[in-house]
Structure 1
Amino acid sequence: MDFHSIWRNLKKFKNNDFLTMLEYRLNYGDLIELINRLVTLFDEYNILPSSRVIILTHNEGAAIVGFIASLLDGVVPIMLTPDTPHRRVASIVNSTEPALVIIDDSRLDEDWIKQIPARIVIHDSNSYPRKKLFSFSHKRSAMHHCGLDLPTAIREPHLPEVNDDLAYILFTSGTTQAPSGVMISRKNIIANLQTISRLFGCNSNARLFNDMALAHADGLVQGILLAMANAATLIRSGGFKISNLENWLNRVRQEKATHFITAPTIWSFIDQYANHDDYFDSSECLHLISVAAKLEQELWGRLQNRFGKSISNQYGLTETVTSALYSGDFHSEMGGFGSIGKPVDCEARIRNTDDVDSEIGELQLHGDNIFLGYWKNSKRTTETFTQDGWMRTGDLVQSCSDGSYKILGRLKTIIMSGGFLIRPEEIDEVLLTHPSVIEAVTVSMPDPNFDEVPVTAVVLSDERTDEDTLLEYARSNLEALKVPKRIISLASIPRGDAGKPKLKELREELLMILSRKKEYTQERNSRDVSGEVYQITAQVLHIDPQLLQPDSSPASVRSWDSFSQIALIIAMESHFSIRIPVAKAASIRNLGELVTTVKDLLK
């Protein structure tokens, strides 16, 4: 497999569906033409091979085509989440010096854009006021999704050789001053795509249901790139929303999906809130796959029993492109049930703190799928690799007799919340810029739905600064998933002789505070239930409560997604000391219905 063979395959299967969205479909003939027109636009903007391109748009079609065109033309795409805060984007721009940005028109007033020589603007409206437009309109035919004024004289992409040259950068975490960019080479990509394609039988007949975030490695690689590499179909369904769970799951059968790929957190929500057991019963649905984080053995077994099909669990990091170890009974090379699997097409070993072989210790990996290093961070790159070239994962594992590995925990302080990686240092740095915060230390706390969530302890110079003020400050400077669940003011942070925080002691202290009943419940008499529901909703959804109305819903509030819906239900149950039935929780469509539900249960 290389980019030349992939391109030939796209032409061969030009009538195959490439991208199936709720609003439109693109086939590979459409994709080819869009790529050819876009790379011609690269020439007009003098975007050369190895130039960096920032992709920052809510328009998934534009983001997908922009990423593929860049990759196949030898340009280095940098996919960011659409809600990446201004300061973080500015820091990434300063670090990578991109030659082009593909961006929503709503962000054109941000000052960092002035540093970028060229831009392609994604317009929300159906009007086309500018020349260099690249926009997807829901009301136009597939080929009009590229906009009316893309170049008519076109060329094909350069199709670079598969080697150790940089293919893309994925900024997964890191402080706002020094974002952590994972550098993936073309050889890394092809190695990982070949393994996944072989293990899971991906070909031109495959239809991949993958609705994960495009700026997440598993949404990007096991969605966009896996489909493209095999001339397969990628099914996107508008993102997981608990309020629309039944329709979302029903699309698996409606679109005749062969592969269903999602994270353990979503599998947990399916287990809790799905009403039926037949979503994956069709004969064409061959592979149920869990990625991005550990699938707990109890949940794994429960899902397999319920749906009557095997589930594969994959282990990997952004630094391994996607996965490196595989478990399940789809293929003889995979590891056993309950483990994180066996290494496939790469090597794995365990080393203890004395750097010798052991049955329990840090998992280390080696192979063609292992990343190049961290963008402009030679120190961290050196620390990540051993002297003999193995990558330290930071994960504590135990070897099994069949060659599988079981994960015991993490050696690093990284927080994995719902499959998304969060570096607590990034949260600390943001809060320390608030004038009232003297100290800030973030730790992970257990959570029944997201596995872990960040909670931050602060020491304040002004005790009048309350938690709501600090949470609002965090929301304005961090992506939604990185905002701490709670920010707790302490008289002091427990520290050792060298000044380092004692994380275990801090976590225990915070757990004790959070467990107090007064933090979660109030007396039910003489209360404004509607007002409290609105205030809690505003906090969970990161929105001004004055903007909320009874008809506010996931359709009108951008931050009201599947994760925040679950968080909203949990917050209501905790605050009011009630239990909202699963069926009722899944059927709540707007804020008015939520208020009614809470009032009824309080009676």
Structure 2
Amino acid sequence: MSLPASLTNAFARVAERTPDAVFVEFEGTKVTYREMSDRSTRGAGALVGWGVRPGDRVALFMENSPRFIEAYLAVLWTGAVAVPINTRYRFAELAHVVGDADVRLVLVDEEGSADHDVSMAAARLGVPVVPLQGEGEGVDAWRNAFGAHDATIDVVPRSHGELAVIMYTSGTTGRSRGAMLSHGNFLTNVRAVTGAWGWTARDRLLLTLPLFHMHGLGVGLHGTIYQGSSMTLCRAFEEQAVFDELLAGHTTMFFGVPTMFGRLLQEARRREETPPPIRLLVSGSAPLGPDLLEDVERVLGSRILERYGMTESVMNLGNPLKGERRPGSVGLPFDGVAVRIADSTTDELVVRGRTGEIQLRGPNVFAGYWRDDEATSAAFARDGWFKTGDLGYVDEDGYHHLVGRSKELIISGGFNVYPREVEEVLERHASVLEAAVLGVRDADLGERVVAVVVPRDAGASADVLIEHCRARIAGFKRPRHVHFVASLPRNALGKVQKHVLREQLATERPPIDSQDPPA
């Protein structure tokens, strides 16, 4: 299959080839490729009427629904650039994204139109907010576009190198930056991913991941369009509803994060029934514990394929569709993606098996951060490789393993401590549901290792967990302090926000339970 010139060309090709095929099913309503083509091109006419021109940025502050897809395609038809915004963002975050991207419009759904934070942030910057559902002038104009034959537009041709999306990073370590992604970045990667996963027009994806995030948009939506397949789209993840959909037996693929798989596992055990085997389960965005991997396969009958992607580069690595899906590994590079493990300071290659920074090169890698030359320069090595900031190593079989973020590396008493290694040890204890490990300043050691633990039961204690670590890892790696909390702060895709944890430890009241180990 030849590579289309743009994302809109990819969609138009499918809409012309199979116009009456179901594209999206949402809350009982089915939308065909023909219907989505008509709606989105007419929506593009409305955008042009509101002054949107090629290269303008248009923000989408919308939950999952066919209207999101309609608006997203409409933006691309005009030659403008889509800026998806996390709907969990509040005033300061929204003002940052809307102002930084210098958007012309903010498109919102019914929930977004009732969100005072987005209204205030946009008003402060003088940016119109256009509701596409509910009541209001924007809704009337959008509806009128569907009834006006002259509301459709001549599609603005786009090429591989032209900007399609500015997607803001998840902000797990601080303020988010806008990654500039071209049509070519997405298309070359989606061709590689759909090929590696055996994705065809016969597949039906159950998509609960948010469309404002890379896995939902860049893989779920773009993969469906590229292959001309169909999806069942959910407004959000809700384990009972998702389990019901899996039981119906129509789903061939489900993409999630470890938290989702854990909840589906609990639902299966609660109901004492299991869905038919699903062709492909994919997990990413947060580490997948080996125990969860094995439990899901045993209970649900399908082995999860763990992958590794980033906002700046879509999908990079994945365990094989056919072959060993190795616990604790994110697998092998996708076609066209070059990966190396290098010293994060010198960018020189490290010996196989040694931990270093994961660096990337390929047509999937973004051009840089929007209007931030300093951050862009810092993100690339002198020889052009993208410095992910993620630490990992390659084993003897070529499988890649993530260890953590370079910014999260703890140097305690002169020794390097990789948080993920300690977290995995803690999570193997029966009383631990999940754990996050970070370094805090220490006058003697420079940094001391601190664990924040969500207990599985009341039997957890700091002494027991510290002793558990002492028996399994070097002494300098064991936590010097353990905090127990009800839950860990996470972003929309399940990544633990350690900068939030660090702030909480520094400023909030004492945790549920904490204790220093004995000397």
Determine if the TM-score, normalized by the shorter chain, exceeds 0.5: yes
Give the aligned partner of residue 362 of structure 1: 357
Q: Choose from 91, 99, 102 the match for 1:94.
A: 99
Give the aligned partner of residue 488 of structure 1: none
Give the aligned partner of residue 421 of structure 2: none
Amino acid corresponding to residue 107 of structure 2 in structure 1: I
1:130 aligns with 2:160: no
Secondary structure of the equivalent of 2:448? helix
Q: Choose from 68, 75, 81 the match for 2:73.
A: 68
Amino-acid identity (%): 22
1:16 aligns with 2:21: yes
CA separation of 1:211/1:178 partners in 2, compared to 1, >3 Å: closer, same or farther?
closer
Give distance in 2, aligned partners of 1:31 and 1:450.
42
CA separation of 1:223/1:159 partners in 2, compared to 1, >3 Å: closer, same or farther?
farther
CA separation of 1:181/1:504 partners in 2, compared to 1, >3 Å: closer, same or farther?
farther
Q: Choose from 380, 383, 402 the match for 1:385.
A: 380
Give distance in 2, aligned partners of 1:77 and 1:168.
5
Q: Choose from 304, 313, 319 the match for 1:311.
A: 304
Give the aligned partner of residue 105 of structure 1: 113
CA separation of 1:107/1:267 partners in 2, compared to 1, >3 Å: closer, same or farther?
closer
1:350 aligns with 2:355: no
Give, in angstroms, the shift of residue 191 of structure 1: 1.2
Give, in angstroms, the shift of residue 266 of structure 1: 1.2
Q: What is the TM-score normalised by the length of structure 1? A: 0.64
Give distance in 1, aligned partners of 2:106 and 2:12.
25
Provide structure 2 residue ranges, at least 5 long, that are not aligned to the other structure.
411-424, 455-459, 464-485, 496-510, 514-519
Q: Is the 8 Å Cα contact of residues 249 and 275 (structure 2) preserved in structure 1?
A: no
Give the aligned partner of residue 120 of structure 1: 130
CA separation of 1:453/1:94 partners in 2, compared to 1, >3 Å: closer, same or farther?
farther
Q: Is the 8 Å Cα contact of residues 21 and 32 (structure 2) preserved in structure 1?
A: yes
Q: What is the TM-score normalised by the length of structure 2? A: 0.73
Aligned pairs for 1:198-347 (under 5 A) are 198-241=195-238, 245-254=239-248, 256-275=250-269, 279-281=274-276, 285-321=278-314, 323-328=315-320, 330-331=321-322, 336-345=326-335, 346-347=337-338
Give distance in 1, aligned partners of 2:317 and 2:488.
36
Q: Is the 8 Å Cα contact of residues 434 and 453 (structure 2) preserved in structure 1?
A: no
Give, in angstroms, the shift of residue 23 of structure 1: 4.6
Give the aligned partner of residue 407 of structure 1: 402
Give the length in aligned residue pairs.
435
Give distance in 2, aligned partners of 1:270 and 1:393.
31
Give the aligned partner of residue 448 of structure 2: 504
CA separation of 1:540/1:167 partners in 2, compared to 1, >3 Å: closer, same or farther?
same
CA separation of 1:358/1:56 partners in 2, compared to 1, >3 Å: closer, same or farther?
same
Offset from partner CA, 1:239-296 (integer Å, 9 cap, x none): 223xxx34321202426111111111211222334235764425xx321211222322
Q: Is the 8 Å Cα contact of residues 408 and 438 (structure 2) preserved in structure 1?
A: no
CA separation of 1:508/1:340 partners in 2, compared to 1, >3 Å: closer, same or farther?
closer
Offset from partner CA, 1:389-441 (integer Å, 9 cap, x none): 111222222212221112233322399xxxxxxxxxxxxxxxxxxxxxxxxxx
CA separation of 1:293/1:508 partners in 2, compared to 1, >3 Å: closer, same or farther?
closer
Give, in angstroms, the shift of residue 25 of structure 1: 2.4
Give, in angstroms, the shift of residue 326 of structure 1: 1.0
Give distance in 2, aligned partners of 1:410 and 1:50.
34
Provide structure 1 residue ranges, at least 5 long, that are not aligned to the other structure.
135-145, 416-444, 456-492, 518-538, 543-560, 564-573, 577-603
Q: Is the 8 Å Cα contact of residues 319 and 371 (structure 1) preserved in structure 2?
A: yes
